[in-house]
Amino acid sequence: MRFQSRLWAPIAMLLCLHGTAAIARTARHPSPAQASCRALDASSILGDLVGPVKVEHRLFRQAGRTLQWVLVSWEGPPEGKVFVADCAGRRLADLDLGYVDHATAGPAIQGNATLEVRYIPATGTNIREQSVSLLQFQKEAISVLWDHKSMELASAPLVPMDTADLYRWRFLDGGLRVAVTGTRTTGTIKDMRRGIIIGRNKALPAESFCFDAKRGVFTGCR
């Protein structure tokens, strides 16, 4: 998969800035409680799969107990799994997601902690995507409360064409609403079918998602 360098360089810088700034990020250094928890042995649960290239842990409290998110990512192709383990390192739940690019604490929903994860769900010829998911551990399973594309890059090496869609999101109303905006960075040739004009950026339609307490997920606000 190839990307034109003139597109990727500025977009890579934008990726470091997009997303929500309203949610506190997890500390890089382990807390005393984290140091006392036993890490989940990722190699013992991946079986014959290629060894992970990245393993991350995040602690959270729920129903009076200390639990840990375990994010395991590997390449060839980019894939990943998310686990929840107890403080003794016993696996409680898992979810196939994608290669985790970044994870941070999300807003508490109905009194329970969440994890905001930016990940790579799929790759293809001349296309790269990144998505964001809001995860929560409930009823001994990992639930996806909200998921949205955060980036899509597309290029064609045989013609001077490339586009990039970048999204930003904010959790509002105590974390019960997600406001999403986006911008399309245009390519170098016209494509009126997609509304592309040379040398201009186009704002994508704004979106809003509200938490549905009955369904336990975010849906489009009415």
pTM, entire model: 0.76
**182-217 confidence digits (pLDDT tens):** 998 876 555 555 555 566 788 999 999 999 999 999
Those residues with Cβ within 8 angstroms of residue 95's Cβ, 6 or more apart along the chain or in another chain: 81, 82, 83, 135, 142, 144
Examine the pLDDT at 6 and tell me if it is beyond 50. Answer: no
Report the pLDDT value the prediction gives residue 28, as an integer from 0 to 100.
Answer: 35
What's the mean pLDDT when you consider all of the chain?
78
Domain ranges of the chain: 5-220
**103-120 confidence digits (pLDDT tens):** 999 999 999 999 999 999
Least confident range from 20-34, 40-54, 124-138: namely 20-34
